[in-house]
Amino acid sequence: MSDTYNGPDAKQALQNLLEGNKRYIDSSLTHPHQDSVRRQSLSGGQQPFAIVLTCSDSRVPPEIIFDQGLGDLFVIRVAGNIVDDIALGSIEYAAAHLHTPLLMVMGHTKCGAVTATVSGVGVEGHIANIVNKIKPVVNETRNKQGDPVTNAVFALANSVADQLTSSEPVLADLVQSGRLQVVPSVYDVDSGKVEIVS
């Protein structure tokens, strides 16, 4: 646990992510912070500059998409990039105790969890819990023009970002005091590009 944070502010952190994403798109990855020197430097603690809440989908690994390394990102992954109390607690830890200034909520195109929710097919076991979390957003976007899955993916990123921004008592206070910025985004699995959405 770190008492102080000496890394980039939220604006620079977002710029770091977008620059890394451009390197990824251009196939000019630098693979920073992935050697034994970096590993040893982190033995006493961590100061990730960004929290990334994203989907568990194997095509969406944040460290690769943003060309980052050890200690750079605090990543929470759950199908559909939704948030429950456990994920929220993980985010609160990074934001409040590691003082990470940026929280990115990253949905992605062709999301299986969103597709299943849009299609309305029956799901088994605990997968229903994921679908039930996504259903309200799907219902809100159902009559919009365009692809219903894509519409829901973008709306879900915004919805989860809004939920986190207003989450009390921890995150809402950090956002209001300017110590945390929450940014919704969507990753395109075809182009590799991360688009900031609003």
Name all domains of the chain by residue range, CATH numbers in brackets. Answer: 10-196 (3.40.1050.10)
- Supply the pTM of this predicted model: 0.94
Average pLDDT over residues 58-73: 97
Average pLDDT over residues 97-114: 97
169-198 pLDDT per residue, tens? 999 999 999 999 999 999 999 999 999 998
pLDDT-derived band at 1, boundaries 50, 70, 90: very low
> CB–CB of 79/130 below 8 Å?
yes
In this structure, the strands spanning 50-54 and 181-187 are unpaired
> CB–CB of 195/188 below 8 Å?
yes
Report the mean per-residue pLDDT for the chain: 95
**Among residues of the chain, what percentage have pLDDT more than 90?**
91
- The DSSP string of 35-66 is SHHHHHHTTT----SEEEEE---TT--HHHHT
Average pLDDT over residues 55-82: 97
Give, as one character, the DSSP assignment of residue 79: G
Res. 100: pLDDT tops 80: yes
Q: Where are the beta strands (DSSP E) in the chain?
A: 50-54, 73-77, 102-108, 181-187, 194-196
In sequence order, which residues have a C-beta less than 8 Å from that of residue 95 and are 6 or more positions away? 51, 103, 170, 171, 174, 179, 180
β-sheet bridge partners, residue 76: 53
